[in-house]
Amino acid sequence: MTDTTTQDTAARPDLPDRLCTNPRSPHYVAAIFEHDVGIRLNGKQRFDVEEYCISEGWVKVAAAKALDRRGQPLLMTLKGKVEAFYTEPA
């Protein structure tokens, strides 16, 4: 049983510096979203992150119910220390 758990962690791709949840984005990587990804901004875990960049220190989150003309949510940029990690399965 321990062999399967080590294989699962080895099969996870490395988290990139920048990642987006929108499939239209050039920063979208489908293989990463097969696993649960967590984001911490300034030490607090966020569950509403649409896009992040670790090196530049920002995350983008949806701004309430506002939509742009293409029907995509408007995004606000929040700055701080960003950490991306894989969450443990429950």
Q: Quick check: 8 pLDDT over 80?
A: no
Please write down the long-range contacts of 79-82, taking CB distance under 8 Å and 24 or more positions apart. 80/41, 80/42, 81/40, 81/41, 81/42, 81/43, 81/57, 82/39, 82/40, 82/41, 82/52, 82/53, 82/54, 82/57, 82/58
Q: Kindly state the percentage of the chain with pLDDT values over 90.
A: 82
Q: What single-letter DSSP state applies at residue 30?
A: T
pLDDT tens-digit series, residues 52-69: 999 999 999 999 899 999
Quick check: 72 pLDDT over 70? yes
* pTM score: 0.80
pLDDT at position 77 over 60: yes
pLDDT at 88: 72
| 21-30 pLDDT, tens digit each | 999 999 999 9
Q: Are 85 and 15 in contact (CB under 8 A)?
A: yes
3-state secondary structure at position 9? helix
